[in-house]
Amino acid sequence: MRTKFVAVVLLAAIASSAGAIDLQGHRGTRGLAPENTLTAFKKALAIGVTTLETDLALTRDGVLVLSHEPRLYAALTRGPDGRWLSEDGAAIFSLKADELAQYDIGRLNPAHKYAVQWTEQQASDGERIPTLQQLFELARDARSPGGRLVRFNIETKITPTSGDSTPDAERYARAVVDAVRAAKMTERVTVQSFDWRTLREVKKLAPELSTACLTIDSSSMNTVLPDASGASPWHAGLKGADHGGSLPRMAQAAGCSIWAPFWRNVTPENVAEAHGLKLKIIPWTVNDPTEIERLATLGVDGIITDYPDRARRALAARNVAID
């Protein structure tokens, strides 16, 4: 009984001494509103996030838009005729921006298996895939609960096997850097990716931009396992063996100031290692309040979540500030 009491006291002490958490609304507020829509981002701002997290795609005529999927996703897309797509549609990179604007993404298809897990999501019919510029304008003057200007965490959706369905890493990076600079958002933007090739290109073009190295090691997806060359195809040629098998050290070598692991991969040891390397650690995508509290007690620097309302309550329970 005494051991349990001591453990509780220690956890409380860790939580009370933890720094402020960067609360990131994943795809806006995917759990509460249609993902990557202006409505979702407005809701995230109303809840009080510090960062808006989103995904990027590039249209054929060079417009950066917000979409997790490289193709029109049947789970949430209705065509100009108002009917659900029967299967995933054209690659966004093959469409012009005005063609893309004909599709409605304001509601989940109730017949699609993807809809089952988002029972709290409220439809917003008539939503179009927004542009990155629209997001910047929406939140240009928005402030976090601590008073700082809201930040943006934008992910380049590209994989080692994307082929012609997405732009190559260099073109992707150029489009992102140009858009961020044109909007005068350099100090408020982080560019993240599982495919570190784009992060390498971003750093070449704009060393001042913050980058976050995403990783996942799970049965459903794994960006960590090396191929025959000794390097993971996701890691821009970096070999784990050259860095002691340490993902934080690899992220540092890739030029990232943030390591963003899958939340189940976070341990006290790798949090300490990341901080020892002066890296921030911001896990994704954490929706269980108990896990949010656990990660906060471990000292992570941010939380990416589909439910920022739940996260705010969980962090408040541990007296962890948000900023």
Q: Check if the beta carbon of residue 259 is closer than 8 Å to that of residue 247.
A: yes
**Is 66 among the domain residues?**
yes
Q: Rounded to an integer, what is the distance from CA 4 to the centroid of its chain?
A: 36
Q: Check if the beta carbon of residue 48 is closer than 8 Å to that of residue 77.
A: no
pLDDT computed for residue 7 by the predictor: 40
Write down the pTM of the prediction: 0.94
In whole angstroms, give the CA distance from residue 30 to residue 28: 6
For residue 264, give its domain range: 2-70+128-317
For residues 14-24, average pLDDT: 71
**Is 77 among the domain residues?**
no
**Is 27 among the domain residues?**
yes
Q: Which residues contact 17 (CB under 8 A, 6 or more apart)?
A: none
Give how many domains the chain has, as a whole number: 1
**Is 287 among the domain residues?**
yes
pLDDT above 70 as % of the chain: 94
In whole angstroms, give the CA distance from residue 57 to residue 107: 20
In whole angstroms, give the CA distance from residue 22 to residue 152: 11
Burial label, 212 (beta-carbon count in 10 A; 0-12, 13-18, 19+): buried
Q: What are phi and psi for residue 301, nearest 5 degrees?
A: -95, -15
Looking at residue 58, which CATH number applies to its domain? 3.20.20.190
Q: Check if the beta carbon of residue 214 is closer than 8 Å to that of residue 155.
A: yes
**Is 93 among the domain residues?**
no
For residues 162-182, average pLDDT: 97
pLDDT computed for residue 19 by the predictor: 82
**Is 123 among the domain residues?**
no
**Is 173 among the domain residues?**
yes
